[in-house]
């Protein structure tokens, strides 16, 4: 049935007018203004009371999910070896061997002692020439002595130090430069969060203590991060007052009345305190990028207030006889709709970022920006009208020139009319901007270097460059080596594998050196062979290796190797040093190392896992670019949907987006041409451009629609009126935040300069586009066409289409991973591999945690394979605390039918239906998920895409590699895996090893299928080992008493059987 859109609109308007709910609402608010203000103040005070408890987290850890394997292993390195990112103090001379002089060595000794006493420095983890030992020997004796002989430092003892260091190659580059001109003091901090203060304390101490002809420099990743946090705090304290002053001045210029400054300030303070206070109340930390949040909120709350005040004063000008309350109600009744609409679209934009962002700080930033916009709206529509109604109506000098407006309004009007008169010119310029922007996107580089956040002449930046140049470097790449059993790292082949890895790493361009227990072992071997260099190798005999360490323990300090290997010789650390902290170089080094480890550590012996600052940087910065574009894309699509619904026109919705889109592209163009990196700080311009920029558009388009369609004005007349009312408000809104952000250009921090510069360009672009391009576009397309309402069905269809596109964007890239024919064929062969129809077996499970503690369980498993399904029950018999616990599953072949699972708990004496989506949960403390438990030797054909991935050698045999990628993000989440890499014995379609990656893409676990035999014609695995790389936990299934000859029936796999035991 057809209907007339216009009549419907008129009908809706008549209902609204009859009811006039907004007017009733503002009458209510102004009826009890003091109560409303009191409630608002109470809210602000309550929220603000939480601000002192706000936790700051400016570490890079914050950008990585806490369960990320790199964080886990970084903590493991900290726990086991006590190593983190240290502060480095370099004592440098100008000549060769300058450091082996009494004056410099004395300075090193004094500095070491003094630094150990500084707060937040771990006194047991300060390493320098005065703390480290030399290992030397004869054929019969081993000597472990301090590098600097004890007692007063003389020319002779300095010479001894030179000789001892020269014989210990592992110190060269790490502790002393190869030419002996400089040395390092390496100090571990206890609490990274206050590393900035520690850095300053060290800086203060070393000031003026350098011996003549020597210099002292302080740097290191820990110092850089910590100092950056302190630096940004100081800088904010300097720039924020200027920002406020700029805004106050602009507000005063806009209306020239005290209330027009005081009331918006109140809304600003309320919005910022309410948002930051709520953040503190929920325990969400204040991250480095959160610094941009107050600025956005200031921008948005100023905008809201300016619009209300403009309408208020305009009403006052038109109706000087009215009371304050009448003026407020009248002004607010006109302005509430655009305010709500712009706030909603801005909130939707932030929502899009929140749901797509990967890094926790970005997510929380968007969530609280969303909340802040809401609070600003609420305060603007409650406290502001309430407070205005209490003020006496005073004329505003700034709005005194009737419908022709003031200077600002006249300028705006002329510019808009010019755009309408020359639309081709304006549109052409916009198209050129878009093209240049697209080129800029192509040139956009993701890059970051923490030290680049400081000015070039900043001492920390100079020190960092010096250490990277003269020593091995300031960035650490750690590799954690783990053997399956205690003492495993005494095995020569394992140590040789570590040596090979070190050698590989040291040949990489940016790795200048590495240290591990292997270096000390070689030194010991050489020392006990009269310092013969030919013995600087890993001995071939395990007993000899153990003896060498035994001899050392008799002579040296038992803690000498605590930073290299754990006391049980099961876990060791290789610490390689990079002479760069530039993300692209660090990332390429990490990727190369990762590929080597995957290739060479795939067998059953020791495992290697990358950690350290380099890996952390690689992991958290890598997803920045894709995450940035994804968030932006989703956010823009959501705003587009909102605008299409708002104006009930695809064309009007699209036009609304043009200023924002062009502004963002303009930024890319600037970044691309000036070589500005896309890094976390610069990437934050996008939400600001969206948050503030879209307001300009919505206000303008909404008013054009109102004046042309509903009031019948021409576009030209509409633009004149807009210039007088909204345009003027928009100008002062733009000017105040433009100048507010502009203050950042005077910041001490280059990062903030870039951020401020980009943001002002984004704001200016969005404003100019709204002012010029929007009218030009509408003039070109004709207002009738632009605002012609779509039918409701068309709106719904458009929304569905747009949502579908967004879903497409949100889908993980893996979904589009190509499945290969070979991969699918092999997967089908695995699935079709004959398996016994009836299985009865005993499984002994041995669970071993990171500390080597074991638990043992015994269970009996029955399985029946039917035509369309298989059913199994696992019932535990030992230990006593889980005796009779049983798990039953009905697993259907048909992909659309979900599996059914039950768990029988003897304490409840009944079985419980459990969710099949629990299949990604771990089964009773093992490292197998419920899905793995069903059958570790087969993989669901419907859950994954399969692709062939070459071959891999395990234990000297080449196996075909199959890569499994979940078919959807939902399935990946259900399974808990984003990828599985399976080595398959292609001859009998039997997997031998499967490596799993978690949903964040980090290495999760490896399952090995060993002791494969053929029993009764079926390939059978007798040992299955799952090793979790995140937790260090390991589960071994030993399968025995296997019987395929019994005759089971599917029908008997019921809850009765689960209850009555097997």
Binding site for other proteins (CB under 8 A): 849, 855-856, 877, 879-883, 890, 897-898, 900-902, 907-910, 912-918, 921-922, 924-925, 1031, 1033, 1048-1049, 1051-1052, 1054-1057, 1060-1061
Q: Which residue is listed with tokens 């959807």? A: 968
Within its chain, how far is the Cα of 761 from the centroid?
A: 26
Least distance in angstroms from the C-beta of 360 to other proteins? 16
Q: How far is the CB of 846 from other proteins (least distance, A)?
A: 12
Q: Which lies closer to other proteins via its Cβ, residue 56 or residue 850?
A: 850
Q: Which residues, listed in sequence order, are joined to residue 216 by a DSSP beta bridge? A: 91
Give the count of beta carbons closer than 10 Å to the beta carbon of residue 954: 16
Nearer to other proteins, 433 or 940 (CB): 940
Which of residues 856 and 953 has its CB atom nearest to other proteins in the complex? 856
- Of 689 and 1058, nearer to other proteins (C-beta) is 1058
Give the contacts of 1043 (CB within 8 A, at least 6 positions apart): 839, 840, 841
Least distance to other proteins, CB of residue 158, Å? 53
- Provide the minimum distance between the beta carbon of 856 and other proteins in the complex, in angstroms, as a whole number: 8
Q: Which residues contact 403 (CB under 8 A, 6 or more apart)?
A: 721, 724
Token pair for 32: 């009890």
Nearer to other proteins, 445 or 917 (CB): 917
Nearer to other proteins by Cβ, of 738 and 1053: the residue is: 1053
Is cis: bond before 85, omega within 30 of 0? no
In angstroms, give the least distance from the CB of 866 to other proteins.
12
468 or 901, CB closer to other proteins? 901
Residue 286 or 904 having the CB closest to other proteins? 904
Q: Select 37 or 1050, whichever has its Cβ closest to other proteins.
A: 1050
Least Å distance, CB 933 to other proteins, is 16
Nearest-angstrom CA–CA distance, 1004 and 1023: 20
CA separation for the pair 735, 753 (Å, rounded)? 19
Beta strands, E only, 516-660 = 571-578, 607-611
Say which DSSP state 968 is in: S
Give dist(CA 515, CA 499) in Å, integer. Answer: 10
Q: 615 Cβ partners below 8 Å, 6+ apart? A: 70, 74, 477, 478, 590
Token pair in block for residue 917: 């989506």
Q: What region, left, alpha or beta, does residue 977 occupy, with left being phi > 0 and alpha being psi -120 to 50 degrees?
A: beta
Nearer to other proteins, 400 or 1060 (CB): 1060
Q: Which is nearer to other proteins, 61 or 974 (CB)?
A: 974
In sign, the C-alpha dihedral spanning 761, 767, 772, 773 is positive
Which of residues 317 and 850 has its CB atom nearest to other proteins in the complex?
Answer: 850
Which residue's CB is nearer to other proteins, number 324 or number 869? 869
- Using CA atoms, how far apart are residues 607 and 574, in angstroms rounded to an integer? 12
* 404/912 with CB nearer other proteins: 912
Q: Which is nearer to other proteins, 553 or 1051 (CB)?
A: 1051
| CA separation for the pair 447, 459 (Å, rounded) | 22
Most distant CA pair in the chain, distance: 109
Question: Closest separation between CB of residue 880 and other proteins, Å?
Answer: 4
| 59-62-68 Cα angle (round to 5) | 125
* Shortest Cβ 807–other proteins spacing (Å): 18
Tokens of residue 436, six digits: 């240049």
Task: Report, in Å, the least distance between residue 67 CB and other proteins.
Answer: 9
CB of 931 to other proteins, least distance (A): 14
Q: Could you tell me where the beta strands, DSSP code E, fall in 556-674? A: 571-578, 607-611
Tokens coding 164: 């001892």
CB of 173 to other proteins, least distance (A): 41
Q: Give min distance, CB of 1004 to other proteins, in A.
A: 14
Give the nearest distance from C-beta 859 to other proteins in angstroms.
14
Q: What are the CA-CA distances from residue 839 to residues 844, 1054, 1061 (Å)?
A: 16, 17, 16
Q: How far is the CB of 896 from other proteins (least distance, A)?
A: 12
User: Three-state SS across 202-247?
Assistant: HHHHHCCCCCCCCEEEEECHHHHHHHHHHHHHHHHHHHHHHHHHHH
Q: 884: phi > 0 → left, psi -120 to 50 → alpha, else beta; which?
A: left
| Least Cβ distance, residue 851 to other proteins (angstroms) | 12
- Decide: 781 and 701 in contact? Cβ < 8 Å: no
Distance CA 731, CA 738 (A): 10
Q: Nearest distance from residue 485's CB to other proteins, in Å?
A: 21
Nearer to other proteins, 599 or 912 (CB): 912
Q: Which of 554, 548, 556 is nearest to 526 (CA)?
A: 548
d(CA 145, CA 164): 9
Minimum CB separation from other proteins for residue 881, in Å?
6
92, 182 Cβ separation under 8 angstroms: yes
Closest distance to other proteins from the beta carbon of 889 (Å): 12
Rounded distance between C-alpha atoms, residue 186 and residue 560, angstroms: 15
> Would you say 696 or 887 has its CB closer to other proteins?
887
Question: How far is the CA of 682 from the CAs of 10, 367, 775, in angstroms?
Answer: 47, 19, 30
Query: Judged by CB, which is closer to other proteins: 294, or 1032?
Result: 1032
b/e per residue 832-857 (b: at least 16 CB within 10 A): eeebbeebbbebebebbebeeeeeeb
The Cα 906–Cα 883 span in angstroms is: 8
């Amino acid at each position: 049935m057809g209907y007339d859109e216009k009549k419907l609109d008129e009908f809706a308007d008549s209902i609204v007018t009859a009811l006039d709910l907004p007017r009733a609402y503002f009458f209510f608010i102004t009826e009890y203004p003091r109560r409303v203000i009191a409630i608002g103040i109470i809210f602000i005070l309550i929220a603000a009371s939480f601000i002192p408890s706000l936790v700051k987290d400016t570490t890079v850890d914050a950008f990585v999910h806490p369960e990320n394997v790199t964080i886990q292993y970084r903590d493991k390195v900290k726990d086991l070896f006590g190593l983190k990112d240290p502060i480095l103090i370099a004592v440098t001379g100008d000549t060769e061997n300058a450091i082996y002089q009494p004056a410099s060595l004395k300075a090193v000794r004094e500095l070491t002692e003094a630094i150990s006493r500084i707060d937040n420095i771990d006194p047991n983890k300060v390493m320098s020439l005065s703390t480290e030992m030399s290992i030397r020997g004869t054929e019969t004796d081993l000597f472990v002595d301090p590098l600097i002989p004890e007692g007063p430092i003389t020319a002779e003892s300095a010479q001894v130090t030179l000789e001892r260091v020269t014989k210990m190659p592992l110190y060269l580059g790490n502790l002393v430069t190869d030419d002996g001109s400089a040395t390092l003091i390496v100090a571990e901090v206890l609490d990274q969060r206050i590393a900035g203060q520690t850095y300053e304390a060290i800086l203060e101490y070393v000031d003026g203590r350098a011996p003549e002809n020597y210099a002292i420099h302080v740097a290191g990743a820990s110092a850089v991060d910590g100092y950056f946090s302190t630096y940004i705090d100081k800088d904010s304290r300097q720039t924020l007052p200027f920002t406020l002053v700029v805004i106050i001045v602009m507000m005063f210029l806009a209306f020239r009345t005290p209330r027009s400054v005081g009331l918006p300030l109140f809304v600003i303070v309320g919005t910022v305190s309410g948002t930051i206070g709520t953040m503190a109340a929920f325990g969400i930390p204040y991250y480095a990028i959160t610094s941009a949040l107050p600025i956005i909120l200031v921008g948005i709350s100023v905008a809201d207030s300016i619009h209300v005040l403009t309408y208020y004063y305009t009403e006052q000008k038109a109706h000087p006889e009215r009371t304050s309350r009448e003026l407020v109600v009248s002004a607010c009744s006109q302005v509430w709709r655009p305010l709500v609409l712009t706030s909603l679209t801005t909130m939707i934009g932030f929502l899009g970022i929140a749901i797509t962002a990967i890094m926790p700080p970005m997510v929380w930033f968007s969530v609280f920006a969303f909340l802040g916009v809401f609070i600003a709206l609420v305060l603007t529509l409650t406290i502001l009208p309430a407070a205005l109604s209490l003020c006496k109506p005073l004329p505003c000098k700034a709005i005194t020139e009737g419908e022709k407006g003031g200077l600002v309004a006249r300028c705006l009007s002329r510019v808009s009319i010019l755009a309408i008169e020359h639309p081709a010119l304006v549109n052409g310029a916009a198209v050129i901007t878009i093209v240049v922007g697209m080129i800029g996107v192509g040139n956009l580089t993701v890059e970051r270097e923490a030290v680049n956040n400081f000015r070039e002449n900043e001492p920390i930046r100079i020190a960092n460059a010096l250490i990277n140049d003269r020593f091995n470097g300031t960035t650490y790449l750690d590799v954690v080596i783990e053997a399956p059993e205690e003492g495993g790292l005494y095995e020569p082949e394992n140590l040789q594998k570590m040596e090979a890895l070190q050698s590989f790493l040291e040949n990489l361009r940016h790795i200048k050196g590495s240290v591990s227990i292997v270096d000390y072992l070689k030194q010991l071997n050489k020392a006990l062979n009269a310092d013969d260099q030919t013995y600087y190798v890993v001995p071939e005999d395990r007993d000899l290796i153990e003896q060498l360490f035994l001899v050392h323990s008799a002579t040296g300090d038992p803690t000498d190797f605590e930073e290299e290997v754990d006391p049980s010789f099961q876990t060791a650390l290789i610490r390689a040093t990079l002479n760069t902290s530039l993300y692209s170089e660090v990332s390429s080094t990490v990727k190369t190392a990762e590929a080597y480890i995957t290739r060479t550590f795939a067998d059953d012996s020791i495992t290697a896992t990358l950690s350290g600052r380099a890996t952390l940087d690689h992991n958290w910065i890598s997803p920045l670019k894709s995450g940035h574009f994804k968030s932006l894309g989703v956010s823009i699509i959501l705003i587009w949907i909102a605008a299409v619904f708002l104006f009930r026109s695809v064309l009007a919705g699209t036009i609304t987006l043009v200023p924002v889109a062009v502004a963002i592209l303009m930024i890319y163009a600037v970044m691309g041409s000036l070589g500005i990196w896309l890094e976390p700080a610069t990437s934050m311009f996008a939400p600001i451009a969206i948050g503030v920029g879209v307001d300009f558009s919505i206000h303008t388009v909404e008013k054009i629609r109102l004046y042309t369609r509903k009031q019948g004005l021409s576009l030209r007349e509409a633009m004149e009126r807009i210039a007088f009312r909204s345009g003027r408000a928009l100008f002062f809104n733009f000017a105040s935040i433009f100048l507010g952000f502009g203050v950042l250009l005077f910041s001490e921090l280059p990062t903030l300069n870039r951020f401020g510069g980009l943001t002002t360009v984004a704001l200016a672009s969005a404003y100019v586009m709204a002012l010029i391009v929007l009218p030009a576009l509408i003039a070109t397309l004709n207002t009738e066409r632009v605002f012609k309402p779509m039918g409701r069905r068309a709106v719904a269809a458009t929304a569905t289409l747009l949502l579908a596109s967004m879903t497409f964007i949100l889908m993980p890239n893996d979904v589009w991973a190509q499945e290969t024919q070979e991969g699918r064929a092999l997967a089908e062969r695995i699935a079709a591999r004959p398996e016994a129809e009836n299985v009865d077996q005993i499984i002994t499970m041995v669970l071993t945690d990171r500390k080597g503690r074991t638990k043992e369980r015994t269970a009996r498993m029955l399985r029946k394979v039917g035509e369309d399904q298989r059913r199994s029950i696992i019932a535990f018999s030992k230990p006593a605390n889980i005796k009779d616990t049983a798990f039953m599953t009905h697993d259907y072949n048909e992909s659309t039918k979900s599996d059914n699972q039950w768990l029988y708990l003897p304490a409840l004496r009944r079985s419980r239906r459990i969710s099949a989506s629990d299949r990604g949960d771990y089964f009773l403390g093992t490292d197998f998920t419920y899905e793995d438990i069903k059958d570790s030797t087969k993989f669901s054909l419907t859950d994954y895409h399969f692709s062939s991935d070459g071959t891999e050698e395990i234990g000297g045999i080449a196996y075909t590699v199959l890569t499994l990628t979940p078919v959807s993000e939902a399935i990946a989440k259900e399974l808990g895996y984003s990828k599985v890499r399976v080595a398959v014995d292609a001859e009998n379609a039997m997997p031998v090893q499967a490596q799993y990656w978690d949903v964040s893409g980090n290495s999760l676990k490896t399952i090995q299928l060993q002791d494969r035999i053929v029993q009764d014609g079926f390939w059978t695995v007798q040992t299955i080992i799952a090793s979790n790389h995140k937790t260090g936990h390991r589960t071994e299934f030993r399968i025995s008493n296997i019987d395929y000859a019994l005759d089971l029936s599917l029908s008997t796999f019921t809850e009765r059987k689960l209850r009555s035991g097997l």
